[in-house]
Structure 1
């Protein structure tokens, strides 16, 4: 690990008195776990900390310690002498308050996305790390801060979430090193796994059934596509957040190299999640073609003023060159 960026971030935080900790819009387990854990670490150092998010924490993650402390009400930004953005690869993913948030000085950034678009005053970006949670752990060590059992729980959740239970190619010996340290602090892996993966409501299960019914295979089974039109949410009573993890099922098919999930959470806006297997299939490049980004094996984008039907054909044509001759 290059220790210079983390030490620079740590030095800036040591000088700060009041810190705003935030992450990207529509945060996942890595983003939320990292945000909550860093907040706990900084409070342990005597800092005044506020946690901000544009939307309420998804019910899928309300089990995380301190999740109810993330406020959706924008605080007085002039009162902060430092801000930290976690797991955010693009300034625009800070949301509607991007400009106001970036005015906080210094604005620090921790991220592990390979396609990171540089922003902020000081950055620690390491695409070789499997999760931002790993990086927050090392930041806490650099700060010589105590990592409480609750902070460890949040960080372990972040790591498990972004590595797909340690099965993605991004998982390294460093990932397991950090996970080991967190388990030694009292985290029970089976408990976290149960909260993350055995948490389907009946509505979510019915939505999952509807989505899988529409599974389509292309290019001799090497590309899989699923979708969730807006009407599915009304018909099943599920929420858009309930689709988290759905993309992993078509990806799990033996023949599939690339999987795509198109979701219409609101009329006219389609969000797309892309997943792939191995180093050969770089879905981040495809996401970038549509204005998105992410990792080689996990990426996504949004398209406005369109429908799933309109976008699916265009997306398929962009994905086909990734796989062998169709």
Structure 2
């Protein structure tokens, strides 16, 4: 029986059957996607910070969402830098510590994404259902607390999971995926993993409970917003992009979780790779674009910023 601490590295086999030509094509596409994620999130963050007209709770929460979109690309030895290296390399190896860090960063990113969207749903609920009390409820202190909650709670939850995973005794070193994930290490465990599975499913239920909270808040929003033309307009401008982002990240995360637990070896490797990459590439790329297209204030601020740069 091999103890987890005796393992120095893992083999990632997700790219092992891919041709060199396809790897080069994927490298080019991934590089463009990586650059686009940095650009669109960076532009919105800078715009919200620079333009004082956007110094409102809704835009601070949007800025928090964009910061989370940069979390994985800028983190050390996580998906994008490691994936780009693997596409040009013959051996796809990751250290034991790097594997644990991937688990922590990737899933704390996904959990933070849902937590931030839940906070944004609460902000929209107060803005539309209790407009006269909005500024007394969404104070600077409340906004800071909500931002801290949306970032700190996922870190703590994923930290507990990572510590529990690091204590597993493992009997293998081959992971059939593009990156490390908690469920892959559970499959390599020599001993019982009941406690890890319970904590993992509890964590999943906790964050999908965030989705349920968002849906319940939007039932109330729809009832109130569609009573007047002004409420309908406000809902369309500020809530529709939020719902699109929620659908985007929930579907991506659900596909990833379902494949990790119930995927079979008969599934084509290309489809497995797509299901692994979409949770890390699609939400951080589309979220700022959706908000940039739908929120007129953001559009005007971005255009004004670029005109100033040209001038």
Q: Same fold (TM over 0.5)?
A: no
Tell me which of the two structures has the higher relative contact order, counting C-alpha pairs closer than 8 angstroms and 6 or more residues apart. Answer: 2
Using structure 2 for the length normalisation, give the TM-score.
0.24
Structure with the higher helix share, 1 or 2: 2
Q: Which protein is richer in strand relative to its size?
A: 1
